[in-house]
Amino acid sequence: MHIGLIGLGKMGFNMRERLRKGGIDVTGYDRSPDVSDVGSVDELLAAVPAPRLIWVMVPAGEVTDAVIGELAAKLDRGDLVIDGGNSRFTEDQKHAALLSVNGIRFADCGVSGGVWGLANGYGLMAGGDATDIQRALPVFDALRPEGDRADSFVHVGGVGAGHYAKMVHNGIEYGLMQSYAEGYELLAAKDIVTDLPGTFRAWQKGTVVRSWLLDLMVKALDEDPGLASIDDYVEDSGEGRWTVEEAIANAVPTPAITAALFARFASREDNSPAMKMVSALRQQFGGHATRPAT
């Protein structure tokens, strides 16, 4: 199988490598010539055999809109576009409609795994027509971890469902990180606790709160005890906001996720050890930039 991949940033670059290791031929295009296989989208489309499968892995919003618009004008009937970025689910219907005018297929896929996906594989949440998802299964199988497909891949539903599931996933992630971070701050505030990193390390096996996020928390403390080099300013990518907006629209109470989002807003005003930990965790799993301590 031979696919095109547009966008070779933090995620796309590693995804290209994992796909190739999984037996998928990949022609990648990026505006940075240092990482791109070809010099333009036109060259990429010429290199990928028809019917083409083009995976888009660029920042959500205007950049994704521009790429989808260009593909709508240049692809052929029967080609398939998969948006694997963090687009809002409401944009998927617009992109599918734009492409369908020329008989081009569309699917969306929420991708989780961050900078660790190359080695560990990615969790995948796909939305679209069953025929299109079946066609792309070799790609999904190369990207996901080894083992049962159902443990790391799901066809959630129609167009937009994959990004909706990823949005909720990220909202849950907000709440989990905030809980760990607040526990960190509470332990750090008590003078009778003399081994803070060791406490979290002891939770990694056998306790109900063990998780990969906890493992990354221990790693962050090993690398920077006290998190002295990290500022407590925590950015939000937008998906937490969208999750809260959807909760309001559907009258679903999400107090933990909402509070975690508001805590990120508060981090931009106050000095907080808890928010230093949230920033450190985002860097650990996603390679998100942190602000240096001032």
Cα–Cα distance, 155 to 124 (Å, whole number)? 9
Strand ranges across the sheet with 53-56: 25-29, 2-6, 53-56, 80-83, 105-112, 123-127, 153-157
What is the set of active-site residues? Answer: 166, 173
Distance from C-alpha of 267 to C-alpha of 173, rounded to nearest angstrom: 17
**What's the N-to-C CA distance of the chain in angstroms?**
50
Q: Which residue has the tokens 């509070």?
A: 259
Which residues sit opposite 124 in a β-bridge? 111, 153
d(CA 79, CA 132): 10
Q: Are the C-beta atoms of residues 138 and 114 closer than 8 Å to each other?
A: no
Q: Which two tokens stand for residue 134?
A: 């079946």
Q: Measure the CA–CA gap between 193 and 182, rounded to whole angstroms.
A: 15
Q: Which DSSP state fits 206?
A: T
